[in-house]
Amino acid sequence: METVNIHQAKTNLSKLLSRVELGEEIIISNRGIPVAKLVPFRNSSNRLNSLGQDKGRFVMPDHFNAPLPEEILAAFEGGEE
């Protein structure tokens, strides 16, 4: 991942955006301190394509919604440790 300073980013924004379009990520820094990252934009339609891709890889345990054990519940409620 390349780092460029603000001046370079302003001067070469079109070129940097072309590289980002191809999948590259670029850090923009101010006086050597990273302040922003240019990353490819992923619109929501790409996300929809990925929904459900892990179906069947995880099975919800039968006891998932069961009440917590007393000692754990007490810890959450500020009771005895």
Residues 7-58 pLDDT 10s: 999 999 999 999 999 999 999 999 999 999 999 987 656 666 777 888 888 8
pLDDT over 70 (residue 80): no
Q: Give the DSSP H or E segment for 38.
A: strand 33-38
Domains of the chain: 1-41 (3.40.1620.10)
Q: What is the pTM of this model?
A: 0.52
Query: Can you give the pLDDT at residue 52?
Result: 80
Question: Whose structure tokens read 């101010």?
Answer: 30
Q: How far apart are CA 76 and CA 56, in angstroms?
A: 32
Position 58 scores a pLDDT of 87
CA 30-34-9 angle, 5° bins:
55
pLDDT of residue 24: 94
What is the sign, positive or negative, of the torsion defined by CA atoms of 5, 6, 9, 10? negative
Q: Secondary structure of the chain: what % helix, strand, coil (to 5)?
A: 35, 20, 45
